[in-house]
Structure formats: C-alpha cells, structure tokens
Structure 1
Amino acid sequence: MRFATVRHDGSQVAAVVDGELVYPLPPGTSVLNLVRTGLAAALAAGERAVSTARPVPVAGVAFDAPLRPPTIRDFVTFEEHVEGVRASVQDQAGVPDAWYDAPQFYFTNPYSVTGPGARIIPPADCTALDFELEVAVVVGTAGTDLTVEEAADHIFGYTVLNDWSARDLQKREMQVGLGPAKGKDFANSLGPVLVTADEFADFHDEDGFLALACTAQVNGVEVGADVLSNMGWSFPALLAYASRNTRIEPGDVLGSGTVGNGGCLAEQWGRRGRQDPPSLQPGDSVTLVVEGIGTLTNTVGTPAATAPPLPAPRRRNHVAERARHTTTVSTS
C-alpha cells in the first residue's frame, strides 16, 4: 500500500494512493500516527479508506513529505560513493578500513524535511550544492538490540530520500572530525509516497537485498544510475545496528546512503578531480526515481544574500592559563 500526505482544497490530509486516485483517510489522521499503530493496523485503515472514501484524482492534489520523522539516521553503505566523495570532500583516496567494520551513520535534521516540489534553499555561503540519491526505510515497530533476522519484521516501508549537501561547508567542517553538520542540515527531501514493506516481496535478491533501479536527473539529463542491492549492508542490518544499546521507534527514518555510479555530483568530482558536472545552481531541477516507489523532484532556490555574522571564538590565553595553574599548585 502507498501512503502519502497531500494538500487538497486547502487542507493537508493523509491518504492512500492507488494508481491515479487518492483516497483521503479520516480527518486528524497522520501517516506518522498510522505507522505507530503498526503495519497490520495501518493496512486495515488504508483498506477502509479505499472502500469508503471519495477518491480524488492524483492530478488534483499536491504531495508533501509522506511523514514527519522523529529522527533521521543517514548511513553510508555504498563503497563506490565512499571512495568518490572521500576524494572530493576529504582529499583522501580509497575506502577507510573502518567502513568495513559496521554500517556507519550520522544523525541529520528532522525539522528540515521537505517534500516533492519543494524549493530547496541552499545555505547563504554555499558554493558547491549537491544532491544525494537514497532510499529510506521507515521503522514500524520499536526495538532494542535486535538481530538482523528480528529487524526485518520491524520495517514499515520505504520512501525516496534526497540528502542535500553543501559540499564546501561539509569539506571545511569535517576537518574538525565530527562529521557533517551545517553542510547537511538545511534540507532533506522525502517522498512522494511511503510504500509498505509487503509491496516489495518480489524485489529481494537471494541475499535479501532490495534490487531496485535508482536514477538521478539534473534538468532532465541523467547523471547517475545504480541498483539498490549494491548496498554493503541490507536494511534489516541497518535497523539491527541502529538498535544496539539504544532504541529505534516507529517513524524513525534510516537512509541507505547515496547510491554509487553518480548518485551524487561529489562522487564524480572526486573521480575526475574537478567539478564536472557543475554544482547545482538556482533554478536547477533534480529528479530522483526509484523503482517501485516513485519520483521525487525538487527545484533549487536562491540562497539568502548573506548569513548573519558570528563572533570570532574566544581563544585560550596560554600565559594566563599557566599562571592560574601555577597559583593553584603553590597554594594547594
């Protein structure tokens, strides 16, 4: 089943999308709350809507992000992406040994989630805007310290994720060693729908990986294409690792990480040693297509002219620090 959040007649409603028709769910229903009821209950609610609600043509609604997640963990599970982006962002070659130890992730900003058609406003000081083609899994059942086998039953469904990236900001801030921050948290796009896990029974390969075709276009020109099953770890493995020593909760979003073979521009910059293709500019349209889920398109907007200034850091006074330390020792 395909759940969505749409705008129609001035209202935002949760709905089921079936072909070219949209079936609104009862007023006050949100997709996040449906997820929290569990997959079986959500499917039952969706079936009731399809049998009782008055449908609206898809063309008559505007799609928002399918849900507002409480948390977003973004993984990095494609070797090809790691190798290319590491060269362009960190000026280092190859894949680090630590990548092979576990599926690494960082937390990104759930408050900056946008949906299909949204205009993406880059940071004011960004000169190297990039997209990232990913698939996100949505947790359906809470759990802690899950095995990979257990984690498969905790998946509610999947949606498309664009993890927008200000590569110049990211390159500078990652020198501190904490991972990306302001280079990533200004926008994450989800959509157009949240497709329940049962829809993908025929898409798994022999190792349990989802074999979905993924493509990225900029201004209608294909710039990247990969198969999702090229992930280093499966989605159940991502859930299992995320649940170690903590909890995952319904509605949590876990990104696959950017697919290889041009799933972002920075991967290609790293391989070519130059910004080719060029970074995204105001007015550019980015379209991500994932088999079995749908198409997510956004347009790049114009950044603010300037960012509010920050004061310089207060630096430690080493002379005063030594004097303070000497005084403390002599009087103790």
Structure 2
Amino acid sequence: MRTGKIAPQLSSMQAVIEAGPPALDIAHAALEHARSGGDGVLPFGDVRLKAPLPQPVQMRDFLCFEEHLKNSLARAIDVAAAGAADPAKARAQLEASGRFTIPPVWYEIPVYYKCNRMSVIGPDEDVIWPRYAHVLDYELELAAVIGKRGVDISRERAREHIFGYTIFNDVSARDYQMREMTGSLGPAKGKDFDTGNILGPCIVTADEIEPYSLTMIARVNGEQLSRGSSSTMHHRFEDCIAHVSQSETLYPGEVLCSGTVGGGCGLEHGRLLAPGDTVELEIEKIGVLRNRIVKRG
C-alpha cells in the first residue's frame, strides 16, 4: 500500500537488515502494491542489479566442504608430480609426506580467513584480472548474511541470527595463493584484489529457504563444469556462527561464506580461467551470479 512517506528502512539492503522485521513488513507491503498493479514499478530489463551488499560490515570465508578440500589436495599432488623427473616416484613421496592430507584440526573447528570487504562487486560486472597473477580461478560458494547482533551464540540459537542467503564467487589468483601460503599465512593477495569478491544476484531471506538442500551448479561459457549440493557441508553455518562469536560480537550485515562446494572450482577439474570467459554460478532458489573475466593490457 502507498503512504506517500519515505521509508528510511528501505534506503539500502544494510538498512533493511539492521531494521529487521519492521523493514521486511514495509517491503512486503510495497511488493503487494506492485503485484496489484500499483505505480512505481519498473520492468526488470530496465534496471541493473548491483551487489546486494556493496560493502559488507565484515566478510569471512570458511572451508566447509570436505570434498573440495580432498579434490584440491589431490590436484596439488598431480601438479607437483607432473613437473618431476620421475612423476611416479614423486607422487609416492608426496603422498607419503602427509603434507597433502586433511589436518585433524579441520574436522574440529570451521577454519576461515577474512576477505577484503572493500573489493565486492555484483552480477554482470567484470572481474579485472590482477596484474601480478597468471592463474585465475572461480569458486562457487553459498553465503549467509547475519541479521541480528550477538556474542557467544550457541549453535542451537545460531539460525535466529541469519537474515538470508546469497551466492559468493571467491575469485582466486591460484599461482600467487600457492606461493604466499608456503609462508604459513594467508591467503592474502591470492584473494585480495579489486573485483575479486562477488556477491549476488540477491539475498533470499531465511524464511524462504532451507540452506542445506540446495543444488549448486558452475558453468563457464555455458558449459556445465560441476553440480554439487549444500547438503554436503561438513561444518554448517550454525557451527561457523557459534565458533566465530566466541568472545566476539557478530553484527547485522556480516557475511559468512561456506567455502567451495565439492567440484565447484576450476582447480578441481584442471580447467582454469582465460580472459573473456563468462562464469555463471547458480544456486537453487537464489539465482545465477554471472560475471565476465577481463584482462587489461
């Protein structure tokens, strides 16, 4: 219904999240007004979606999918052994070294790093290839957006703090990432560059979605490269929220990313990106996040 009044609660997605249920009530009323033929409605083709949260309050990226981790470690052995004089011998030595097995701590806690929240772009924006990198990759992830402030949140109450869900493409400079992480820190510049963090195409509110039964599909130039499911998360968002909020306050507008679904990056398939590629990441009930890779001279 129309009131003729300005609704500051709808001035941005961050404002909606911070205002909580009252803002959603106003948004629902506006939607019903549009559905009933009300004015102020624009055709979808006349608008361009931007990142739903252009500057999130905070971003954390976890490593929640065991299959992705196993696949990536196996691929790292393939790459290292292929460059050796005796590939079979090198492979046996690498496998025996224990460096390419999942560490026990991964099963104990949901490990994460903090992303660069200032480098976020949205759907249909170009990803600019970082000048220092030679190998670029996409990563298909589900992300939860925090809607309610809290500290020392129990796993049992964690879902109450989730506003909604979106798609995250964690674009990665693989060559630089692998190099810097030998220094026992990171990732940093392997992940941190302008246009490297992509969110969208929208945020679906938590009441509209069951997060652990979603099909997740990755395509490059229209070719489907992987199909996975959020049901395979070893650590779930409840675990992540309980872990992070220990003696640390979580705020509305923070984004917690799941890490890559099994098969959800080019590294796992030996198919890395090239300039001009178009990446489409799709998650059931959320939509498609589409971006083009651009390398400037």
- Alpha-carbon distance in structure 2 between the residues aligned to 1:220 and 1:132: 16
Are 1:66 and 1:194, in contact at CA under 8 Å, matched by a contact in 2?
yes
User: What is the SS of the residue equivalent to 1:151?
Assistant: helix
The amino acid across from 1:37 in the alignment is A
Q: Verify: 1:35 aligned to 2:17, yes or no.
A: yes
Deviation by residue 1:171-192 (Cα, 9 ceiling, x = unmatched): 0000111120001012110000
Deviation by residue 1:271-306 (Cα, 9 ceiling, x = unmatched): xxxxx22x2111100000000100000000114x5x
Name 1:132's counterpart in structure 2: 139
Q: Verify: 1:300 aligned to 2:293, yes or no.
A: yes
- Alpha-carbon distance in structure 2 between the residues aligned to 1:267 and 1:280: 12
Greater fraction of residues in helix: 2
TM-score (norm 1): 0.76
Give how far 1:93 is off. Answer: 2.3
Are 1:89 and 1:171, in contact at CA under 8 Å, matched by a contact in 2?
no
Q: Verify: 1:234 aligned to 2:236, yes or no.
A: yes
Name 1:63's counterpart in structure 2: 49
The amino acid across from 2:28 in the alignment is E
- Alpha-carbon distance in structure 2 between the residues aligned to 1:77 and 1:158: 16
- Alpha-carbon distance in structure 2 between the residues aligned to 1:53 and 1:151: 39
Q: Which moved more, 1:165-174 or 1:116-125?
A: 116-125
> Between the two proteins, what is the percent identity of the paired residues?
43
Are 1:133 and 1:258, in contact at CA under 8 Å, matched by a contact in 2?
yes
User: What is the SS of the residue equivalent to 1:63?
Assistant: coil
Are 1:79 and 1:232, in contact at CA under 8 Å, matched by a contact in 2?
yes
Give how far 1:73 is off. Answer: 0.2
Are 1:115 and 1:192, in contact at CA under 8 Å, matched by a contact in 2?
yes
- Alpha-carbon distance in structure 2 between the residues aligned to 1:246 and 1:237: 15
Name 2:170's counterpart in structure 1: 163
Work out which of the two has the higher radius of gyration on C-alpha atoms and give 1 or 2: 1
User: What is the SS of the residue equivalent to 1:180?
Assistant: coil
**Which of residues 257, 260, 277 in structure 2 aligns to 1:258?**
260
Name 1:16's counterpart in structure 2: none
Give how far 1:88 is off. Answer: 4.3
Q: Verify: 1:79 aligned to 2:66, yes or no.
A: yes
Kindly indicate whether structure 1 or structure 2 has the higher relative contact order, using CA contacts under 8 Å at least 6 residues apart: 2
User: What is the SS of the residue equivalent to 2:189?
Assistant: coil
Name 2:204's counterpart in structure 1: 195
For structure 1, the residue ranges without an aligned partner over 5 or more in a row are 1-24, 204-208, 269-275, 306-332
- Alpha-carbon distance in structure 2 between the residues aligned to 1:195 and 1:53: 24
User: CA RMSD for the aligned pairs?
Assistant: 1.7
The amino acid across from 1:185 in the alignment is D
- Alpha-carbon distance in structure 2 between the residues aligned to 1:242 and 1:88: 30
The 1:89–1:174 alpha-carbon spacing in structure 2 relative to 1, beyond 3 Å, is farther
Name 1:284's counterpart in structure 2: 277
Are 1:126 and 1:169, in contact at CA under 8 Å, matched by a contact in 2?
yes
The 1:237–1:53 alpha-carbon spacing in structure 2 relative to 1, beyond 3 Å, is farther
Count of residue pairs brought into register by the alignment: 263
- Alpha-carbon distance in structure 1 between the residues aligned to 2:153 and 2:220: 39
Give how far 1:49 is off. Answer: 2.0
- Alpha-carbon distance in structure 2 between the residues aligned to 1:80 and 1:151: 25
- Alpha-carbon distance in structure 1 between the residues aligned to 2:74 and 2:184: 16
